[in-house]
Every structure is written in structure tokens, then in C-alpha cells.
Amino acid sequence: MSKITPEIVAQHGLTADEYKLVLDIMGREPNLTELGIFSVMWSEHCSYKSSKKWLKTLPTKAPWVICGPGENAGVIDIGENLAAIFKMESHNHPSFIEPYQGAATGVGGILRDVFTMGARPVANLNALRFGSPDHAKTRHLVSGVVSGIGGYGNCVGVPTVGGEVNFHSSYNGNILVNAMTVGVAQQDKIFYSAAAGIGNPVVYVGSKTGRDGIHGATMASAEFNADSEEKRPTVQVGDPFTEKLLIEACMELMATDAIVAIQDMGAAGLTSSSFEMASKGGMGVELELDKVPMRETGMTPYELMLSESQERMLMVLVPGKEDMARAIFEKWELDFAVIGTLTDTGRMVLKWHGEVVGDLPIDPLAAASPEYDRPWIPTPKAPEVQPSDVTELAWNEALARLIASPDLASRRWIWEQYDHMVMGDTVGRPGGDASVVRLHRSNRGLAVTTDCTPRYVKADPVEGGKQAVAETWRNITAVGGRPLAITDNMNFGNPEKPEIMGQFVGACQGIGEACIALDYPVVSGNVSLYNETAGQAILPTPAIGGVGLVDDLDKTASIPFKAEGQVLVLFGQGDRKGWLGQSLYLREIAGREEGAPPPVDLVLERKVGDFVRGVITASDTNTVHDIADGGLLVAVAEMAMSSGIGAALTVDFGGPLHAALFGEDQARYVVAVDAAKVDAVLAQAAAAGVPAVKIGVTGGDALSVNGGVAVPVKALRDANEAWLPEYMSHGA
């Protein structure tokens, strides 16, 4: 038995204080296997030790929430005895080191979080952030991440229906790969992870265990440095084919009454799955590690406990059901092994060919892991940017540059590499405000989206946090959906720096306020900290995944104009004249990345959104686009480009035109309404106190503003479509 030196402790990412706690809990010096277990269980990634205090403040309840944070994924009631089960999770560090496998296994991991609860996955989304397009690694990373997501999702046969992509130099050394899965389960067939029943068998299914991914969770809990490339062996390797078999085998077993509890083996593999199951159920476990199916010879208990080999699950079965369960997994040609039993000791006892090689108390490890109240300082408020101080470029030139800029250019090159139609229920394809996936054999659907505007969060974490939530709510509303709940994927820098911790605290506050105002709770989430390289932190990026319900798929809306001669109505503007601070116009046209971001008025947000949804469900429109990055004119241009139909706009908000056209005021939608209906719709808006103003008419094949020049829609579309494929075709 090796002596545990301070060097070994440090290599395991534990502080001296934490190691003291280890000694207290153990009452003796741990052996290497035990130390490894403490190391991963107490890593930031698994323990949420820096973030827990603030995550607890988020609103997680609503009458339709069946299960909030704490399980593998969040569960909401979507009616007709169905539940939507979803979560978003980061795979940032591995994806930077090995983009294809990092992204692929990110998809695999989040899929397992969802189907482990009994849901068949019906949609994947991904929120991606890359470095500056000029950075030498960006192309390689985009290419690897996109093919990794596609390679995995396409093979498992779950449609990848949406997501978002930003480019910014702050991600040069730390890209973000956040993957989200949405699944659907019968409400009476939801599976949880709390172990129960003394003597019940603990069963391992799926792939064999290899040496890949050992200490992946620890890697994800530290800053990067120049040696990070050497961590490539800690990146796991995905096998989507096995995952597909695992989905089908689990679904088949879940249709029986054999499963007591089930948990996927994700970060920290067998360690975290067994500890979490036992801890939640207040049980003890005895594992016979030599029974674990192994991919290679000579593996040690240490390696078996810490491996992050993919496509594995741990289950507690009803005694006597082992043979029936084994037959299902053997039919799907997957490993199945009874590797242990539940005990009443409250301890994890690890055996290797009969000899005890580890003996740890479960609760202090899993439930009583360290929790820090890290010092933080609030982000100072940035000054407002006055439109009169911002360069005014002719609208047509500004528009042409904006729609061809990296953050607004078409993402078709990406989503055409993802199978977004498999399963035959994709009603709203990628490229819309939210994607819509029909609930199988029904006329209802789920509206799903991801969003975050990191530059807003950097400038003002509270407003930026609100905005990320509000924008997903708006996306779902814009397709006619009722927003129900979110998952949050909090990507930040090093929490040991008070200003970074301040960003985290502010974002949590903003997210919380928006969730309450919009009745839109957090039901699951993930935190990724230490996204820094050589001291350079990423923009704070609390990516939000939103899920809503479309009650009648015959009453939805999409972005493209459907007809000429329809009146365009702008909802939500009120007396605002256009907010240019932190806008893409300011960054791309004026070359300034500064100022306070647009404030989010949550009362207005809700009032306007509820009204627009009502216009859609009353069938008074089927053409809606919410206004986000780039402002009003970019939104209208996107409606034109996706349809080929032009529009003539008349815009005057009483301030400078560039602020009106490109300001990024929140809580706004552009809606196309038949000329015959428009007066009635405007009268209803007035009665409801919702700001609404006519801004133009659809028609022709060009876009014009206040008379004068007209820009051909085709030219806009060509520029919008060209940037990403051209960028990706160079070099690399």
C-alpha cells in the first residue's frame, strides 16, 4: 500500500484542508483507491462546491414540475400522462483537447442522463462557443466539434434540431460545448436513482470498462495551461452504436417492473454512480470489482473506480429479475454483470477477488462534500452608450455587414451535418426561433431552444442572466409554444477570483428573477467552472435551454414570410428609441464592445409574449420572429431571407435611425398579419396595453427602409449563407 504524500494529494486536486477532512472522515490514512474516490467526488465538477450556495437560490418549483434539480435530469408534466425530461451539460475541457471525441461523448453523456430516467430521447440541441475566427485553432475546433456531435447524434438516431453558436476571442483557449437532450416518458414510468432494498443486486450494463477518461472530472475542475494537450488521454472515446443499443435495451427493460433504481455512469464513472445511488437511498453498497466487465487486462481497482468509459449504466434490480434482464441485454449484445449488493452499513466496501481494497463511509463523501462561500465582488455597472455617440453607417451597408458577420451568419453549414429529421416528428426544423418536435402520434409538440448572450452577461451579469432566460422564453413564444421550464448550463472562469465569482452570483440572481417573473423554473442544470487558459477567462456564459409545449400544431408560427401584402407589426417597442450598448451593431460596425446591455423589463416581456402567443393561437398569424442579436432590421431581414419575399419598412422611433433599426431592446417581436385583420389585432393590443406599431408591408423581392434604396433579398441571403462555408473551406 503506497504512502500518501502531499504530492499525491496535490496530484489528485485536493487542497491540504480537504485532505485533512479526508483523514477525519476515514479515521486513518486512505489508500490510493480511496484517495482517488475522494478526489473525483469532491472535484468541482461532481460536488458543485463553489456553486451550490448560489444554485440553491434558483426557483425550481411550479405545479407542472415533477422533478427538479438533483436527479439525472429535470422532469415536467406535459399532459396526457406524458413527461418531458431534459438537461443540458457541458463537455468543454475535453472538447478543446480532442474536439471530435469531446463533443461526441458530450452528446452521449447527456443522452444517458435523459434515458436513464425512462425517457426516449426525442431531440438534441447544442450551445457552442468558439474563439475568434482569426485564431489559429478555431477552424479545427469547429470542424471537430460539429463532426463529433453529428457523428454521435446521427448514429444514435436522435434528431439534432437546434442550438446556437458564438465566436469570441475570450473562448480562444476554452471553447464551450454544451449539449442538451430532451426526452419523453410516460409519467408512470419515470425512473430515479435512489437505491433501495437491502440485499438487492447491483447490476452493471453496457460497454466494458477501459482506461479512458480516468480523472476527466478532475481535469474539468482546473484551469488550462500549456501542458493541457498532455491531458488527451483523459478524454473519453464514444461509441454511438453501443449507446443506441443501450437505449433500446434500457427501454425494453423499463417496460417491465425489474428496475428499482438506475443511474448512468458519467463523470467519475462507477464512483459517482454508486455513491450517488447509495447516498440518495441511505444505503450501503458492496462491490466486487473483479466482476466489472473489463476491456483490457491488468486493470486495477483504482482504474475501475475512476474510469470514464462511456455507454455504461448502473442499476439496482428487483431480486429474481436478473435472468430476465440479462436476456434483454444479451439480445442487444451488451455486457450485463451483477457486481454487488446493497447493504445496510452506509459504507462503500470495495472487494477485489474477495479482498477488501476500499472501505469508505458514503454520506460524508456524497452528501457532505465541501461547500464554499467564495468571496465575490459585484460587476461594476457599465455606462450607457448614447446612440448619438455611435457612428451612423447607411442602413443597407450596415445590414450587409451584420448578416455576414460571424455571430449572425447562417448556421446551415453546421446543422446540415446533423440528422435533424430522423424519428419523423421534426415539425419545426433548425433555423427558426425554437425548433418544434411533435409528440409521437399526436398533434401536440415540444418547442425547444437554447440561448445566451455572453457579452451582455459580461457587462452586467444580472441583466445578462435575465436576458438569457427571457430570450429562450421569447423563442418558444414566437413559435406558439407555452414556455414551461429551463435547464441552465453555467460556464464561467475561475471561481477563486472574486470578480468571476461575482459574475456567477449576478447571473444566478438574474436567472432567478426571470424564472419567477415568467413562471419558468429551473429543473436541471450543470456548472462548468475554471474555463480559463493562462489567466484569460471566458465571457460568462450561462447557457439556457428552454422547453415549452405547443398544444395544437395547427396553430404555430415560423420565421419566413408566407405571403405578399401582409402588414408587419412590431410588438413591444413602446417609447424606447433603440438601445445600442453591447449591440452587435456597436461591435461589428463601430468596433466597440462596450456599454451597458439592454435592460430586461420582465413585466413587459411577459405581457408582450403572452399577447403574441395569443395572436398565434387565435390563428391571426403564422409568421413571427423575436428580435434579438442585430435588432429589428436583422430580424426582418431573416424573415425575408428565409422566404425570398421582401418588405418595405417605415421606421421612426423618434431617435436616430441606426438605433431604431439595430438597437437590441428586449421583449420585442415582428409579426406579419393579413391586411384585413391588422386593425383588429392592433385594437386588441391597445386594449391589453401591449405596445404595437405598424412598421411595413411584405412584398417584392427586396428590402427597403423609409423609401430610398432597396436591397435585393437574394443578395442578403447569399451574403448570409456564404460566410461560414467560405470560412471553413480555407486552410485547415
Partner 1 sequence: MKAAVIVFPGSNCDRDLAVALEKSSGKAPIMLWHRETEVPQGLDLIAVPGGFSYGDYLRSGAMAAHSPVMREVKRMAEKGVRVLGVCNGFQILTEAGLLPGALMRNRDLKFICRDVHLKVENTETAFTRPYTKGQVVRFPVAHHDGNFFADDELLKRIEGNGQVAFRYAGADGTVSDATNINGSRNNIAGIVNGKGTVLGMMPHPERLIEPKLGGADGKPMFDALVEALS
Output the known binding site for Mg(2+): 89, 113, 264, 526
CB of 681 to partner 1, least distance (A): 25
**Contact by Cβ (8 Å): 525, 69:** yes
The answer to whether 91 is a known catalytic residue is yes
Nearer to partner 1, 208 or 351 (CB): 208
Rounded CA gap, 141 and 151, in Å?
15
**Contact by Cβ (8 Å): 365, 41:** yes
Nearer to partner 1, 105 or 193 (CB): 105
Nearer to partner 1, 430 or 545 (CB): 430
SS3 243: helix
329 to 153, 260, 321, 324: CA distances (angstroms)? 22, 17, 13, 9
The three three-digit cell numbers of residue 572, written as one number: 413591444
Nearer to partner 1, 283 or 427 (CB): 427
297 to 234, 293, 408: CA distances (angstroms)? 19, 10, 51
Nearer to partner 1, 160 or 698 (CB): 160
Q: Which of 12, 45, 168, 215 is catalytic?
A: 45
CB of 547 to partner 1, least distance (A): 20
Phi, psi of 392 (to 5 degrees): -105, 115
Amino acid letter, residue 704: S
Rounded CA gap, 649 and 637, in Å?
11
Rounded CA gap, 56 and 568, in Å?
43
Contacts of 613 (CB under 8 A, 6+ apart): 477, 480, 481, 482
CB of 313 to partner 1, least distance (A): 17
Residues making up the binding site: 48, 87, 89-93, 112-113, 236, 264, 308-310, 488, 525-526, 528
The answer to whether 45 is a known catalytic residue is yes
CB of 265 to partner 1, least distance (A): 20
Nearer to partner 1, 189 or 412 (CB): 412
CB of 424 to partner 1, least distance (A): 4
Residues that bind partner 1 (CB under 8 A): 147, 150-151, 154-157, 239-242, 244-245, 332-333, 415-427, 429, 438, 553
SS3 290: helix
Q: Which of 91, 215, 420, 625 is catalytic?
A: 91
**Contact by Cβ (8 Å): 71, 470:** no
CB of 154 to partner 1, least distance (A): 6
> Quick count: other Cβ atoms within 10 Å of Cβ 257?
9
Q: Three-state SS across 436-476? A: EEECCCCCCEEEEEEECCHHHHHHCHHHHHHHHHHHHHHHH
Contacts of 277 (CB under 8 A, 6+ apart): 193, 194, 195, 261, 263, 283, 285, 314, 316
Nearer to partner 1, 334 or 711 (CB): 334
Rounded CA gap, 473 and 513, in Å?
13
Nearer to partner 1, 147 or 343 (CB): 147
Residues making up the binding site for substrate: 90-93, 112, 236, 308-310, 528
Rounded CA gap, 132 and 69, in Å?
34
CB of 531 to partner 1, least distance (A): 29
**Contact by Cβ (8 Å): 244, 111:** no
Amino acid letter, residue 381: K
Active site residues: 45, 91
